A and B are shown apart, each in its own frame.
Chain A
Amino acid sequence: MSIIEFLQVPIFQRALFAAILAGGTMSLLGIVIVVFNMTTIRFALMHFGLLGGAIGLALGANPLTAAIAAIAIGSLLFGPLSDKLKLDTGLIGAFFMTGSIALAFLLFYKAGVPALDVFSLFTGSILTLSRNDLLFITVLGTVVVLTFVILYKEIQLIFYDSEQAEWLGVPAKRIRNGLLFLTGLSIGVAMKIVGALLIDALILLSAMAAMRLAKNFKQLILLTSLFGMVTTTGGLLLSMVLDLPTGATITLTGVLILLFSTFIQK
């Protein structure tokens, strides 16, 4: 089948729409992760999702909804807890990760939740998105872009020098916590789109590549968004044409872009 033929199938239309939108918008949150040095937050939130999924299954609720709810709650707790415990956001991730995975395993054992059912949450695919998923991606993507546009100066100041931002009267902690919350929600969505193990491709790799090439914040935003879109859309189209697994192809496209950025960086 050619790309044109693929695009006449509703499943692929939905997938392409999601790829463009999620790739172009959620990738921006990768900047938050890189700047605040929070690479552990992804693992922490994924494990939080695992715990949520286990609770959902134990209570007979929809495990994916429960997982995303747990991720949302986790990302709300991240900033305030790291302030309260005076731990850096990287370390607090380790604290969350180990705690939640231990609880999840206790739950598997005590409530007889089949662990494999929960782990299956981690193998999402962009080809199985429902209308509601698309709606959720659209709303979340719009919120992310609006946040970066409206708080452009403030976010820039916080990323560059949060101490100065605070002294100038910018509510640095509240904005940071808001960004962490959006990041958590996006990780939840990415779990559904590419599968949790491939989240980096959607959220992290584009920002890492753009960080190397951009000279200012505007370039950083535009490049991240562009790389994000190329990663998801390019990966999706390649996987259709070459008949390869979608998640892995998307991730590999992201890796190639990152590799490319390290070569052309002066």
Chain B
Amino acid sequence: MLKGNAIELTNIAVGYGDTPILRGVDFKVKVGEFVSILGENGAGKTTLFKSILQILPLMSGKIKIFDREVSNGRDNTWLRSQIGYVPQRHNQGNFPISVFDATLLGRWGSSFSYFKRPSAEDKEITMEILNTVDLSHMLQHDCRRLSGGQTQRLNIARALVRKPKILLLDEPTTHLDAEAQNKLDITIASIRKQYDLSILMISHNQSHALKLSNRVVHLSKGKIHPGLGVAL
């Protein structure tokens, strides 16, 4: 198993246009660690994710993933193979697509693309992941007809299907009822173990964050503040 830091941010500043939302952020997630970020709406939690994903360019500072600098934007293909991202997405839009296809397409660019069709291995991995998130009985189901909990488990499957080592979760349990939330928590805990994941999760619910993670930090006024540490 890898050692050291999965994610390492050194003095980063990032924002939209010329206005920085985050400034002077230093932050680490160790390999295998599960860290939750709490913070007010608009504190910059999603912005932090977008900077790690290289969707937003850095104004200054450095980002390392498994000790490899990625903030120059040149290693995006490698970066995509390391990080799975589950954005906030509570409905599946209006487009008809099957659960299997929606998940399989998450592997685009890793083993198939324009003129290369998905292989038997791609389909096997898709099946395995859908099995893990308990959606294997709904392969041909239209995504538009999924419940909130099923939608989130599908979103996780779509991120996991690339077999990443890091998972970024953006408020995965928001808008779910207690039962669906519990089921999702169990899924998250089990995939973490099964795939040796390092996880960074944005949450708005302190007790939920404490329940799942090793460590909770707070993001406010564009900076990260250490929060409660929990030994699991």
Q: Do A35 and B142 touch across chains, with their CB atoms under 8 A apart?
A: no
State whether the Cβ of B59 lies closer than 8 Å to any Cβ in chain A: no
Residues of B66-123 at the interface with A, using a CB-CB cut-off of 8 Å, are 76-77, 80, 85, 87, 89, 92-98, 101-102, 105-106, 108-109, 112-115, 118
Q: Do B80 and A215 touch across chains, with their CB atoms under 8 A apart?
A: no
**A239 CA / B143 CA spacing, docked (Å):** 40
**A156 CA / B96 CA spacing, docked (Å):** 9
Q: Do A167 and B80 touch across chains, with their CB atoms under 8 A apart?
A: yes
Q: Which residues of the other chain, A, contact B109 by a CB distance below 8 angstroms?
A: 168-170
Evaluate whether A160 and B80 lie within 8 angstroms (CB atoms) in the complex, with A154-B108, A216-B142 already known: no
Evaluate whether A217 and B101 lie within 8 angstroms (CB atoms) in the complex, with A151-B114, A159-B95, A168-B108 already known: yes
Q: Which residues of the other chain, B, contact A163 by a CB distance below 8 angstroms?
A: 87
**A220 CA / B96 CA spacing, docked (Å):** 7
Evaluate whether A154 and B140 lie within 8 angstroms (CB atoms) in the complex, with A160-B102, A161-B89 already known: no
State whether the Cβ of B228 lies closer than 8 Å to any Cβ in chain A: no
**A139 CA / B8 CA spacing, docked (Å):** 53
Q: Do B114 and A160 touch across chains, with their CB atoms under 8 A apart?
A: no
* CB-nearest residue of chain A to B79: A167
Contact of B96 among A150, A157, A215 (CB under 8 A): A215
Q: Do A164 and B101 touch across chains, with their CB atoms under 8 A apart?
A: no
Q: Do A216 and B94 touch across chains, with their CB atoms under 8 A apart?
A: no
State whether the Cβ of B53 lies closer than 8 Å to any Cβ in chain A: yes
A134 to nearest B CB, angstroms?
31
**A150 CA / B115 CA spacing, docked (Å):** 8
**A170 CA / B94 CA spacing, docked (Å):** 20
Q: Do A154 and B114 touch across chains, with their CB atoms under 8 A apart?
A: yes
State whether the Cβ of B158 lies closer than 8 Å to any Cβ in chain A: yes
State whether the Cβ of B55 lies closer than 8 Å to any Cβ in chain A: yes
Q: Do A35 and B106 touch across chains, with their CB atoms under 8 A apart?
A: no
State whether the Cβ of A143 lies closer than 8 Å to any Cβ in chain B: no
Number of residues on chain B facing chain A (CB within 8 A): 31
Q: Which residues of the other chain, A, contact B95 by a CB distance below 8 angstroms?
A: 35, 159-160, 217
Q: Do A164 and B106 touch across chains, with their CB atoms under 8 A apart?
A: yes
Q: Do A153 and B106 touch across chains, with their CB atoms under 8 A apart?
A: no
Contact of A160 among B53, B85, B97, B113 (CB under 8 A): B97
Residues of A185-225 at the interface with B, using a CB-CB cut-off of 8 Å, are 211, 214-217, 219-220
B96 to nearest A CB, angstroms?
4
**A214 CA / B93 CA spacing, docked (Å):** 14
Number of residues on chain A facing chain B (CB within 8 A): 26
State whether the Cβ of A3 lies closer than 8 Å to any Cβ in chain B: no
**A219 CA / B143 CA spacing, docked (Å):** 14
Q: Do A217 and B94 touch across chains, with their CB atoms under 8 A apart?
A: no
**A156 CA / B112 CA spacing, docked (Å):** 14
State whether the Cβ of A34 lies closer than 8 Å to any Cβ in chain B: yes
Q: Do B77 and A215 touch across chains, with their CB atoms under 8 A apart?
A: no
Q: Do A150 and B114 touch across chains, with their CB atoms under 8 A apart?
A: yes
Q: Which residues of the other chain, A, contact B89 by a CB distance below 8 angstroms?
A: 161
Q: Do B105 and A216 touch across chains, with their CB atoms under 8 A apart?
A: no
B interface footprint on A84-98 (CB within 8 Å = 1, 0 otherwise):
000000000000000
A132 to nearest B CB, angstroms?
33
Q: Which residues of the other chain, A, contact B55 by a CB distance below 8 angstroms?
A: 166-167
Q: Do B94 and A211 touch across chains, with their CB atoms under 8 A apart?
A: yes
Contact of B93 among A156, A160, A219 (CB under 8 A): A160
Contact of A157 among B92, B93, B108 (CB under 8 A): B108
Evaluate whether A156 and B98 lie within 8 angstroms (CB atoms) in the complex, with A167-B85, A168-B108 already known: no
* CB-nearest residue of chain A to B55: A167
A interface footprint on B5-39 (CB within 8 Å = 1, 0 otherwise):
00000000000000000000000000000000000
Q: Which residues of the other chain, A, contact B142 by a CB distance below 8 angstroms?
A: 215-216
Contact of B105 among A153, A167, A219 (CB under 8 A): A153
A residues whose Cβ falls under 8 Å from a Cβ of B:
34-35, 150-151, 153-154, 156-157, 159-161, 163-170, 211, 214-217, 219-220
Query: Can you add 16 more A-B contacts, CB < 8 Å, to A157-B108, A159-B95?
Result: A35-B93, A153-B112, A157-B105, A160-B93, A160-B102, A160-B105, A164-B87, A165-B108, A167-B80, A168-B108, A169-B76, A215-B96, A215-B140, A216-B97, A216-B142, A217-B97
Q: Can you identify 29 A-B contacts, CB atoms within 8 angstroms?
A: A151-B114, A153-B105, A153-B108, A153-B112, A153-B114, A154-B108, A156-B97, A156-B101, A157-B105, A159-B95, A159-B97, A160-B92, A160-B93, A160-B95, A160-B97, A161-B89, A161-B93, A165-B108, A166-B55, A167-B55, A167-B80, A168-B106, A168-B109, A211-B94, A211-B96, A216-B96, A216-B98, A216-B140, A220-B96
Closest 7 CB pairs of A and B: A215-B142, A216-B98, A214-B96, A159-B95, A169-B109, A168-B109, A157-B105
